[in-house]
Amino acid sequence: MTPLAELLARRIEAGGPITLADYMAECLLHPQHGYYSTRDPLGRGGDFTTAPEISQMFGELLGLSLAQAWLDQGSPTPFVLAEIGPGRGTLMADVLRTIRAVPGMAAAAQVHLVEASPALRARQRETLGPQVAWHDGIETLPEAPLFLLANEFFDALPIRQFVRAGTGWCERLVGLSPEGALQPGLSAPAPLAALAHRLADTAEGDVVEICPAAAPIAEAIAARIARHGGAALIVDYGGWHSLGDTFQAVQGHATADPFAAPGDADLTAHVDFEPIAAAARRAGAAASAMVPQGVLLERLGIAARAERLARGLSGPALESHLAAHRRLTHPGEMGRVFKALAIHPQDQPPPPGFEPAPRLTAPE
Ligand code: SAH
């Protein structure tokens, strides 16, 4: 048993089974034993990799989209350039390098990072230097035009899972086996107002997920963008809304049992973009249509950028550059399962690469 498994087992013994969200929160962010609190999972020999770690092109192209949105909004100066869940700081470094080509933009940018992990804050300081500010949440970001990035952040937020039972739902909980090991189980069925709208598109036994923290975060971002201008680019794997069990553990680049080694494996779930878009609209901002990552990067010109970068390369470096391009965009790799959504002011067009949500068909 990991030290965290011992702690959780004692907590469950005393207070009964816990929700998947409580379990996930402890596994990822427990101050002493949490997965993110204690390590850099993206480093060499780490457990997983992400788009900005695969190629500089990802950050360059998202940076260009933000830069054009900043120009289109009249170059507000100063402005907050923020990232939530910045990992090793690679995406922000690529964005900062890119916006240096835009007169006045880098000088106007105040970099603010929302990061829960002390280990990753230290890594971000190494990458970006001391001229950035850290926050525990969105709420403390300065009140100013906000240009924000979130890549693979929302998938790390704790989810609750429910299994359809008649017109009610059983919640998946974490309890203990007779031998005292952590073991998933189900609560008794009960009706749930928050899932009333899912009775229409689910059948007996179907699993649906909700991420209670996602909408408040999206709402806080959108409220700032509605008040001060700006844009948020959100990229993650997932879809409009979930159907099925997407809760997964990854350790050493392979999927693992999410209950086997709490604190030692990354836990994620697919991101639902519908509640993020709905929260943004509630807060008075606009949400774009959801677009697959591959399509977004094509629209932003990845083919031309990839060709330009390839000119300086040969041998294994060229091979790896071509593989990275394919990995980011190909529908069989990250191109289709990863989606992107932009939040922007109602009186502004979506940032380049994004299209407005279709007015009549966008489900709220
Ligand atoms: N965006 C980076 C890293 C993705 S990993 C990349 O694309 O490479 C998820 C990141 O979100 C990590 O930096 C992790 O520490 C951070 N994180 C997870 N949960 C968080 C929370 N509740 N609040 C703030 N940061 C969080």
Summarize pLDDT for 299-353 with one digit per residue, the tens.
999 999 999 999 999 999 999 999 999 999 999 999 999 999 999 999 999 999 9
What is the rounded CA–CA span in Å between residue 344 and residue 225?
6
What is the rounded CA–CA span in Å between residue 17 and residue 46?
31
Lowest mean pLDDT among 62-66, 74-78, 358-362: 358-362
Residue 360 pLDDT? 55
Q: Let me know: does 251 contact 100? Beta carbons within 8 Å.
A: no
- Relative to beta strand 168-176, strand 286-287 is unpaired
CA distances to 61, 64, 348, 363 from 356, in Å: 19, 19, 10, 13
pLDDT exceeds 90 at position 242: no
User: Is domain 37-158+211-238+271-344 annotated with CATH 3.40.50.150?
Assistant: yes
Output the CA 5–ligand 1 centroid distance in Å. 22
Q: Let me know: does 221 contact 343? Beta carbons within 8 Å.
A: yes
Q: Which of 94, 148, 153 to mutate for ligand 1's pocket (most ligand atoms within 8 Å of CB)?
A: 153
Indicate whether residue 40 lines ligand 1 (CB < 6 A): no
State the closest ligand 1 atom to the C-alpha of 155, by its place in the atom list counted from 1. 9
**Mean pLDDT of the residues in the chain:** 96
Q: Let me know: does 105 contact 99? Beta carbons within 8 Å.
A: yes
Indicate whether residue 156 lines ligand 1 (CB < 6 A): yes
Say which residue, 1 or 126, is predicted with more confidence: 126
State the closest ligand 1 atom to the C-alpha of 83, by its place in the atom list counted from 1. 1
What is the rounded CA–CA span in Å between residue 33 and residue 171?
26
Indicate whether residue 109 lines ligand 1 (CB < 6 A): no
Indicate whether residue 153 lines ligand 1 (CB < 6 A): yes
Residue 145 pLDDT? 98
Mean pLDDT value across residues 209-216: 97
Write the burial class of residue 212 (CB in 10 Å: 0-12 exposed, 13-18 middle, 19+ buried): middle
Residue 363 pLDDT? 53
Percent of the chain with pLDDT over 70: 98
Q: Let me know: does 329 contact 51? Beta carbons within 8 Å.
A: no
Residue 364 pLDDT? 52
Rounded to 10°, the helix 214-228/273-282 angle is 40
Output the CA 36–ligand 1 centroid distance in Å. 8
Residue 225 pLDDT? 98
Tokens (6 digits) for 62: 């998202």
Q: Let me know: does 287 contact 342? Beta carbons within 8 Å.
A: yes
Tokens (6 digits) for 268: 């994620």
Indicate whether residue 50 lines ligand 1 (CB < 6 A): yes
Output the CA 202–ligand 1 centroid distance in Å. 31
Q: Which of 22, 26, 36, 40 to mutate for ligand 1's pocket (most ligand atoms within 8 Å of CB)?
A: 36
Mean pLDDT value across residues 223-227: 98
CA atoms in the 13 A half-sphere facing the CB of 350: 20
Q: Let me know: does 201 contact 262? Beta carbons within 8 Å.
A: no
Indicate whether residue 42 lines ligand 1 (CB < 6 A): yes
Output the CA 359–ligand 1 centroid distance in Å. 32
Residue 62 pLDDT? 98
pLDDT band at 43 (very low <50, low <70, confident <90, very high): confident
Taking the domains of the chain in order of start, what are their residue ranges?
37-158+211-238+271-344
Residue 1 pLDDT? 86
Percent of the chain with pLDDT over 90: 94
Residue of minimum CA distance from atom 23 in ligand 1: 116
Q: What is the 3-state secondary structure (H, E, C) of 83-109?
A: EECCCCCHHHHHHHHHHCCCCCHHHHE
What is the rounded CA–CA span in Å between residue 88 and residue 52?
9
pLDDT band at 7 (very low <50, low <70, confident <90, very high): very high
Residue 361 pLDDT? 53
Tokens (6 digits) for 164: 């359809």
